[in-house]
Structure 1
Amino acid sequence: MTERKAAVIGGGVIGGGWVARFLLNGWDVAVYDPEPEAERKIQEVLQNARRSLPALYDRALPDEGHLAFQSDFGEALDGAAWVQESVPERLELKHQIHADLTALAPPNAIIGSSTSGFKPSELTAQGARVIVAHPFNPVYLLPLVELVGEAGQCADAAAILRSVGMYPLIVRKEIDAHIADRLLEAVWREALWLVKDEIATTEEIDEAIRMGFGLRWAQMGLFETYRVAGGEAGMKHFMAQFGPALEWPWTKLMDVPDFTPELVDLIAGQSDAQSGHLSIRALERLRDDNLVGILRSLRRTKSGAGGVIVDHEASLPPVMESVLPVTVLRQVPETWTDYNGHMNEAHYLEAGAQASDRFMEMIGADAAYIASGLSYFTVENHVRYLAEVHAGDELKITTQVLATEGKKLHLFHSMTRGDGTLAATMETFLLHMDFQARKSVAPQGAVAEALAQYAAAHRGLAMPDGAGRFVGQRAAQ
């Protein structure tokens, strides 16, 4: 069994998302799907994933794994540590597939099913070895995956899923549709009635969600949102105030409208009018760009899914250093570009600031050091914009120590695109500060020693081109 190989059985929307999640986190992936268009569809999913998933992070993901499309079931499974079944929701089909998976997969491999409705007891009724591993679309961006099944297998599965940036939620007891889809089903049923009874259109219902409670749910969920709604008195006050409403005849959750051709046509027609002018791929790209922006906002406060990204990023392997340390290696997110499609000038400064922060961590002036009351403060920056950078470009920054004199630190950041083009430089001057004394002081101890080592290693290097320049200075002829 290969420690970092996944086999994906079924290459539809969900299967393709699983491929992208594992592949872009450095796993080799083998795909088995006899459908003739499977490879094309998965490559299109990967195209979206490559422009969005790395954009969540301020550090580079591992090198992409190897992708293979297998026509032989056994070859796809050979050496896999994780096997993910994502075939259509037909129990007889899943029984057939899982009988083969149980017989052919490595004995220590985790076998997960993407099923949104079937319980583990139904999947294992004929002796299969499988747990439910139910993700959410797009799998490569949304971290939640519901795990249901044998406790030991679920615990092993959770560890693997965390390593690829997902949030495993182990469901305590098996239940139809697990947890999240039961909540979605409740909203879906109400929405069908609202359309059927001509209370609202599909677009108006979507607006009610995305303009209102959807924004709250992304960061706080349901119960924490209602806790805040209770004011200073908290959840008990909220429940006392709104609990009686549960007895009012608001909901039709116990009743479902007849799924007639007329209802289907009504909803499909409204949906086409709402967004039929956009292709599915265009809608996916729009969705992914918006998700990246929302998730990057959430990571600033470590709220909800943002905390998962922060924790996963901290576990990523550091970039190997040369004489000049690599202080930034990342993909440029769509949110860093402007109306021209180029990286906005403010984000060149942000990237340089990230390089300074990373260098501080390298010499030991990290979060714990700052908590002790010491840190470096930026006094002056000079940025040169030398080449265009676009969303999706790799951005690499190396940092050279130009001078260290007591409390002063002089750094030079060189920013290159993935093709090796020098895109920008940022020269920065910092002072070491004591927060409590509110004055500049020289660093001491391990930080001073680490800084001295870098300064000695860089002392013999040539002064980088552009160092010491000022605004308006002409280039040498």
Structure 2
Amino acid sequence: MEQGTVKTAAIIGGGVIGGGWAARFLLNGWDVRVFDPDPQAEEKLAPVLAQSRRALPSLTDVALPSEGRLTFCDTMSEAVDGAIWVQESVPERLELKRKVYQTAQAAMSPDAILASSTSGFTPSQLQGCATRPEQIMVCHPFNPVYLMPLIEVVPSPATDLALVEKAEGILRSLGHYPLRVRKEIDAHIADRFLEAVWREALWLVKDGVATTEEIDEAIRMGFGIRWAQMGLFDTYRTAGGEAGMRHFMAQFGPALQWPWTKLMDVPEFTDELVDLIAGQSDAQSGHMTISEMLRARDDNLVGMMRSLKANDWGAGAVMNAHEASLRAGTVLGAHLDELEDVSAPLLTVRRAVPLDWTDYNGHMNEARYLQAFGDATDRFMEMVGCDAAYIATGGSYFTAETHIRHVDEALAGTLIEVRTQVLAGAGKKLHLFHEMYDGDRLLATGEHFLLHVSLETRRPSDPSEAILAALARVSGAHADLPRPDGAGRAVGQRP
């Protein structure tokens, strides 16, 4: 999304999927208009928005844009008028979807994207009675839409490819991973895998081989974790050892002839089978409410995706790319030379407190204060030129002393800002004072003394002339600032 430009998305159908779309757009700074004839639509959307506001900001190490404006519209025409993106998420009835497109296209811009969340219909089917079939495509998400990266983008031969590319760019700006489906096919790609696994699971329960809980344990304790970070083919490639995929296929190819699955057969959906599966499911997780399960799901997804993020892998790489776009054009992505005024403490961190940063007391773990201040130091180093490229030449700063004061609480989701003042910056020495705020509320301070070192000798050394000049500029500008409260204090010393 362009910096400083508010864009509008229209959501047609405010159920679980439509609500997830609304949350993803809204929390990325878009204005969102929702049309749903259900008189309880606003009430039903509220918990989805609450869940997304708790979870999505935890994925990124930089704050999301300011939340957009949410409006519930009385008519579909009102919702789509002027919208750049129109997302249809109504029930899976073809005649209903076609009526939506006829109404929407009469009021929406020809240049806007008209996307369907359908998991089953192809775009050619959806385009049947459309005024402008070239405007319609499938953008099939995965629940929860506000967290899961994958969007299956499916055009038909009639779809305008320029609009498809525009849609993919917008999806990336929201932190999604758009996967272009090469050919139209029922259920697209991912749901076909899910359907195959679902059919086999039904047989295993029906035949008494496993319970619903045992099947779930087989997935989440085994291949589910592997698939989450490596997918199917890379998983099997590694199973082939150094010889790779060819060895794996030669070794396990004959198994395709064995009766290992019943994927072509479907058990009859009798009342007995439904009762059996529903009863086992109740025994498995009936001790939790659905709200509790959704909270746990989001916490687990955030934790796993943040782990992948640290390795720049899979869904984590998508999040890193999204973060880079959020930093671009802001102080958090700027070099010192790009800032005209450095007379005030510099903004070095602006982010939400992630879910996994809290402790048993429900507030931010003390170790995470050090991480936040360490991130602030790293960001300051980048600003003055001690970035990855410079460090690769053999010089860096090492922290020699740290003093953190915990002034007030920070809870999960708190939007924190760290502002950094240079107390001294000359020669080998760098003395920083960080202040962490929630709005105007001071949460903590961090005082850090660093030495520039040679990575070859591991001994103190002079930094480059460019870094010295940058430090002189900031330290000179900060020399006139009042000495911050708490600077130089000993541990336990009262004001």
Q: TM-score, normalised by structure 1?
A: 0.96
- Structure 2 distance, partners of 1:42, 1:408, is 54
Q: Is the 8 A contact 1:131 1:153 kept in 2?
A: no
1:437 Cα shift? 4.5
Q: Cα deviations across residues 395-446 of structure 1 (Å, max 9, x unaligned)?
A: 111100000120110001111224x322211111111223235432222243
Match for residue 101 of structure 1 among 82, 104, 108:
104
Q: How do residues 325-340 of structure 1 correspond to structure 2 at under 5 angstroms? A: 325-340=346-361
Where 1:15 maps in the other structure, the secondary structure is helix
By how many angstroms is 1:384 displaced? Answer: 1.2
CA distance 1:44–1:339, change in 2 (3 Å): same
Distance 1:79 1:147 in 2: 23
Give matches, 1:220-239, under 5 Å. 220-239=230-249
- Does the 8 Å CA contact 2:376/2:420 hold for their aligned counterparts? yes
Aligned counterpart, 1:74: 77
Quote the residue 1:278 is aligned against.
288
Query: Bigger shift: 183-192 or 317-326?
Result: 317-326
**Counterpart position of 1:415:** 436
Give CA-to-partner distance per residue, 1:280-336, whole Å, 9 cap, x none. Answer: 222111110111111111100011100000110011142488711111111111211
**Structure 2 counterpart of 1:183, one-letter code:** F
Answering whether residue 475 of structure 2 is matched by residue 475 of structure 1, we say no
SS of the equivalent of 2:360 reads coil
- Structure 1 pair 445–79 and aligned structure 2 pair: CA distance change class (3 A): farther
Superposed CA deviations along residues 69-101 of structure 1, whole A, max 9, x for unmatched, are 001211101110000000011111111111222
Equivalent in the alignment of 1:29? 32
CA–CA separation in structure 2 for the residues paired with 1:234 and 1:106: 50
Counterpart Cα distance in 2 of 1:351 and 1:322: 23
1:131 partnered with 2:137: yes
* Separation (CA, whole Å) in 2 of partners of 1:276 and 1:121: 41
User: Could you say which residue in structure 2 is the equivalent of 1:256?
Assistant: 266
Q: Does 1:188 align with 2:186?
A: no
- Map 1:162-241 → 2, pairs under 5 A: 162-241=172-251
| 8 Å CA contact 2:426, 2:471 repeated in 1 | no
Question: Which stretch shifts more, 176-185 or 432-441?
Answer: 432-441
1:296 maps to a residue whose letter is: R
Residue matched to 1:54? 57
Name the amino acid aligned to 1:32: F
Q: Is the 8 A contact 2:212 2:280 kept in 1?
A: yes
Task: Give how far 1:449 is off.
Answer: 2.3
Gaps of 5+ in 1: none
RMSD over aligned CA atoms reads 1.5
- Cα deviation for residue 277 of structure 1 reads 2.3
Matches within 5 A, 1:287-298: 287-298=297-308
TM-score when normalising by structure 2: 0.93
Q: Which amino acid aligns with 2:7?
A: R
For these two proteins, the number of residue pairs brought into alignment is 473
- Which whole-Å CA distance do the structure 2 matches of 1:460 and 1:4 have between them? 42
Identify unmatched segments of 5+ residues in structure 2. 333-341
Q: Distance in 1 between matches of 2:178 and 2:211?
A: 35
For residue 356 of structure 1, what is the aligned residue in structure 2?
377
Conserved in 2, the CA contact under 8 Å of 1:28 and 1:66?
A: yes
- Does the 8 A contact of 2:25 with 2:31 survive in 1? yes
User: 1:389-400 maps to which residues of 2 (within 5 A)?
Assistant: 389-400=410-421
Find 2:485's aligned residue among 443, 458, 465: 465
Q: Which amino acid aligns with 2:102?
A: A
Larger CA deviation: 443-452 vs 174-183: 443-452
Give the counterpart letter for 1:260 in structure 2: T
